[in-house]
Each structure stands twice: as structure tokens, then as C-alpha cells.
Structure 1
Amino acid sequence: MLDVFCAAGRDWKLVTDGQPGVPAVTAEVVARTVAPLEVANGALVRPQRALGAETYDIVCVPELAIAPRTDITGRFDEEIVWLKRQHGAGAILATACSGAVLLAAAGLLDGQDATTHWAYCDALAERHPAIRVHRERALVASGVGQRLVMAGGGTTWLDLALYLLARAVDVETAMQVAKLNLIDWHSVGQQPFAHLVGARQVDDALIGKCQEWIAKRSQVEAPVASMVRLSGLPERTFKRRFQTPG
């Protein structure tokens, strides 16, 4: 995921113009300490910063290398306190696969819609009955301001990364990253992107028409491609005229 974020704004210009563009995202690895740590499968990670008072716009929680019914009580207390502080300060908390277990342990998912890897869904629902676990959904955005974002298992972290880029930067940048990495980012459906197009652009009647159309069709599998077809515009022109609401 770090590579996907770092590519945003930089690599498209590199392959099309021969010079790297300005990075659209500043990403860093944060951990309990800055000491190198060994993660699953023996890979070594060197955090750039330890948990502290700094706040972030988006915090991505990695998956946990645990069995589905593992009790993590007491194992991640420092991380939980830090995550709750970040969320309280307005950060988007995002995770894929089993990382939702940590958000649940922090109490952040109580009363919210959520998803996780299919192998963890039953255990998550049993341990936290206040959470509405959606086993069938690959991507869920919930909570106040939709600041709790979860992806399921496998490669759905790619959909999560592209969703976050579309939300925090713009749709065009996310589409560029998808093309560079050959990612089919529309397979999760339109619903997580609804807030990006829910506000009609009254200054562009054609784009506004497309936004109204897609807002009523939450199950469309390729929302952006569908709007391009509806508009009758070339894809490049559509992307230029489409503006992501703030």
C-alpha cells in the first residue's frame, strides 16, 4: 500500500512525460518505536516515526497476523490509545483484512457497519455483537463522516488504497494509479464512492446529470466508466470536467 500511495502524482508523469511529477501524498510508517521490526514472512520494516502527539489525515492499520478467534486483549493497548486519539482529531482510519479486529478492540466500530477478511467475519461478529458485519462487501465506509474505512481479504487492499486516493486527492489521480498498476478498481461497486459524487455540480449540467444518475444506482459495478458512457464525453474530457466535492 505504501508503494501505491507514493506513486500518486509522481509516477504517471514519469511514464508519460519522462520526468517524475510532484508526489500527491506524503506517507510514512509509524510504529510503537522506530526500531526495525520483523513482520509476517520475515520482512523487516523501518518505521520513520514512533507513536506520538503528531496527527494525520489518514491512518492505515495493517492486518494482524493472528488466528480469527485470537484474544488480543492487552497486546495493542498503546496502539489503541493512539488510534482513538487520531480518530478523535479527525483522521480517517482505514484497514484491510484482519486489521478491523484492532479497530473493533478500540470500540470504534460499535454500532457501525464493517467488513473484514471472510475468515474473520464470524469471530468479529461474535466477539463484538454491536458491530454490523457485512461478509459480502469488499469495501465499507462508515461512522461519522465515513471516517472508518475497511476492506475485506486478499487484494481488496488495492481497492482501499484507490478509494483513499480518490477521496483525499482526486478521482483522476486514483484512476492514473489504477492504470499504472493494472488494477480493476470498480469491481467493489459504487456504494463506497457515493459521498464523492453525492453533491451535484450545479455549474456543469452534464456532470450534474451523471452524478444524480449514479447516486440512485448503488449497485453499479463500474461507476466512473458508467458515468463516462452516460455523458457521451471522451474519458479524458469527462475526468477534466468532473470535480470531486470537498
Structure 2
Amino acid sequence: MKPAVKAFIVALPETAGSALYGIVDVLAATGTLWRELVGAEPGVGLIRPMIVSPSRQSFRCGNGIPVSPDLAMEEARDADIVIVPELWLAPDDDMRTRYPQVKQWIIDRYREGSTIYSACSGSVLLAATGLLDGREATSHWGYQDLFRRRFPDVRFNPTPNLVFGDPAGRIVTAGGTTSWHDLVIHIVARHCSPGEALRIAKVYLLKWHGEGQLPYTSLVRHQPHADAAVRRAEEWLAANFRLPNPVAGAVAACGIAERSLKRRFKAATGSTPMERVQNLRIEEAKRLLEAGGGASSEDIAPEVGYENPAFFRRLFKRHTGLTTAEYRRMFRSISLAADSRDEREAAEGHARAS
């Protein structure tokens, strides 16, 4: 019988407990849980997950969740796979000066043949090891500016849910927070079988995020910088993006040459003023679609600053990966669920008050 796949899962005080224990739970159930639920003959575990930390001493990770490591890193060798789950990190926390022992351990495992996986911001720790230099990688879309500034040698792609850093797939990074769902489905399919991955997905109701991260990405992010003129331009554009030719208006409001503002804006924010206008307009269109009301793209286009609805539709699809109708269906269901919850809580509060 083929031995169980040995999976080492890195746990640190910054680790997100939901991702850590979700990965452990799902991987530990491969080969057994489905068979138990359908009344089949007992199976055998196909993956053996073990939590690995710098020491075996118990600690609390993100949100105070207790962790009892199975192994200290000095004991953890010859892994088939290593997984770095999501970490609770600020958008500017690059991990470059922390955990040298952990980073060296990950490098050693890779050199000795382990396949390295990361979920969400776990790729920030991988980037700090240098293993992602020259490779394509992903993470939560909120870290793309960190990668641009701190890890310029990494080809960061905020769009997919999974990115293979090399043709052999020995380094795989996953996107946003619940991308660990996609990651474990991939791991089970690759190291066990596609059939077992499908069974695991059914048992845990795991959804493959085939749409990637684009629909969830905030297009407007505020980067800290010291350029007062650029800050004035950002503020002016945020208030006036619907107007015709808003870039010219921002130039006039700042009182500096257009070429100079565009150069300084790009250096400070990573985008051009026109890209900021487009992002502001698409974010407003997303908000209108999420709010419901049945407005068509022909109605929304002029409301956010576009006279040509066809151009607006093409731009919206390029920025979100979805048509306006697809986006409305995807996020309106979430909005309806939230509205239903709010109405129920309000009714319960009224009943208590009575």
C-alpha cells in the first residue's frame, strides 16, 4: 500500500487559525470521511498532516486560537509537501527581518525535494525566503502593492486563485483568504486522485473559485506617500471622477504641469491618473450593481462617467472578469442574505423591546 503523503503545515503566532485548522481537518479526512458518510468499507488516510513550528511549545495564533505543534522544525524533515497558510499581516509587513529559522527551514525543504504551497498571505513569507524571485506568484489582492515595492523580483499576479511558480509545480501559491479551499482541492487531486478531491469537495461543500480574484478585488487602494500634490489630485479625482476629462481638472486643481503630475502620480501610487479614474468609476459601478434596483449597463454607464455603454461594458469585464449581469447575480445574492439577516435581527430586537 502506498504510504500516506506527509504534509508539514507551518504555524506561527501570525497564522490564521481558521486556515490552519481547516487545512489540517480537510487533509486528514482524505480517504476516510466520504466512505464513512456513504456507508462504504472503511478507508485509509491518504495524507498525514502535521503542524510544524519553531518549537513544540504550545502558543496562540491569530485571534487567540491555541496551537499545539506536532513537531519542531529541527525534527521535521523529508516532507512530501510543505504548506504555509494565511498569516495575519498588515499590508506593509514584508516579513524580511523576521523568522530567519523558519525561512531557512522552508528553503531547506525545497532543496531536499518538498513541494511548497502557500495560501493567501503565506506567500509573503515565501517571498521573504527568496524562493519566489523570478517566479510568478499570487496572494490576496490586498498585498499587490507590498509585492510591487518590497519584492520587485516576484512576478505578482493578483488575478488567479492558484499560480504555479515553475513548470514542475514545485511552488504553488493561492490567492485570497478562502483560497485555501482551492489549494486543498488541488493538493488532494494532485497527490491522491481527482476522484478523491471531488469527494472531499462534496463532503466539505468546498467551492472552486474558477472566477479567480478579480471580482473581489478593490480597484482603489490608498498608498501612503509624502507627495502633497499627488494627495490633492487623489482627493480631487475621488470627488469628481464622474466629470468629463477629470484628469485635466485634477491638473488644474493642483496647479502643476500635467506631465509633472502624471510622473509624480505614477511614482507615488503605482498607477496613472487615468487608471485611477477608471478604477473609481468601476468601483462605483460595482456598488450600484451590488445595491440592486435593476439598473442596466446603459443606465449605469453615464452615472459613473461614461457616455458609451459598450465601452463601459468592455472596461467592466476587463477589470472584474465578469459582465455587469454576472457581477450583479454573484454579489446580489450576498446582499440579499445580509438584508434578510438585518431584517430578522431588527424584528427580534423589536420583539424583545415589546
CA apart distance, 1:71: 4.0
Counterpart mapping for 1:207-226 below 5 A: none
Q: Kindly name which structure, 1 or 2, has the bigger radius of gyration based on alpha carbons.
A: 2
**Equivalent position amino acid for 2:208 in 1:** W
**Equivalent position amino acid for 2:207 in 1:** D
Match of 2:169 among 143, 146, 154: 146
Counterpart mapping for 1:97-246 below 5 A: 97-143=120-166, 145-185=168-208, 187=210
Q: Is 1:84 the equivalent of 2:107?
A: yes
Distance 1:139 1:50 in 2: 29
Match of 1:30 among 52, 59, 71: 52
What is the aligned partner in structure 1 of residue 8 from structure 2?
Answer: none
Distance 2:78 2:103 in 1: 14
Distance 1:37 1:100 in 2: 22
Q: Identity percentage over the alignment?
A: 37
**Equivalent position amino acid for 1:94 in 2:** Y
CA apart distance, 1:156: 1.0
**Equivalent position amino acid for 2:188 in 1:** L
Distance 2:34 2:147 in 1: 39
User: SS in structure 2 opposite 1:59?
Assistant: strand
**Equivalent position amino acid for 1:118 in 2:** W
Asked if the contact 1:33/1:50 (under 8 Å) is kept, the reply is yes
Gaps of 5+ in 1: 190-246
What is the aligned partner in structure 1 of residue 268 from structure 2?
Answer: none
What is the aligned partner in structure 1 of residue 304 from structure 2?
Answer: none
Asked if the contact 2:162/2:182 (under 8 Å) is kept, the reply is yes
Distance 1:182 1:151 in 2: 19
Distance 1:186 1:81 in 2: 32
What is the aligned residue count? Answer: 189
CA apart distance, 1:62: 2.1
**Equivalent position amino acid for 1:161 in 2:** V
Distance 1:29 1:110 in 2: 26
Q: What is the TM-score of this pair, normalised by structure 1?
A: 0.73
Asked if the contact 1:139/1:188 (under 8 Å) is kept, the reply is no
CA apart distance, 1:186: 5.9
CA apart distance, 1:72: 2.2
Gaps of 5+ in 2: 1-22, 213-354
Report 1 or 2 for greater relative contact order, CA contacts < 8 Å, sequence distance ≥ 6: 1
Q: Is 1:41 the equivalent of 2:63?
A: yes
Distance 1:32 1:179 in 2: 35
Following TM superposition, where does structure 1 have runs of at least 4 consecutive aligned residues deviating by more than 3 angstroms? Answer: none
Q: Is 1:57 the equivalent of 2:41?
A: no
Distance 2:33 2:94 in 1: 41
Aligned CA RMSD, in angstroms, stands at 1.5
CA apart distance, 1:69: 0.8
Q: What is the TM-score of this pair, normalised by structure 2?
A: 0.51
More helix by share: 2
**Deviations 1:172-198, CA, capped at 9 Å, x for gaps:** 111110011112226257xxxxxxxxx
Distance 2:111 2:57 in 1: 27
**Equivalent position amino acid for 1:125 in 2:** R
Asked if the contact 2:181/2:207 (under 8 Å) is kept, the reply is no
Asked if the contact 2:85/2:119 (under 8 Å) is kept, the reply is yes
Asked if the contact 1:111/1:132 (under 8 Å) is kept, the reply is yes
Distance 1:114 1:125 in 2: 12
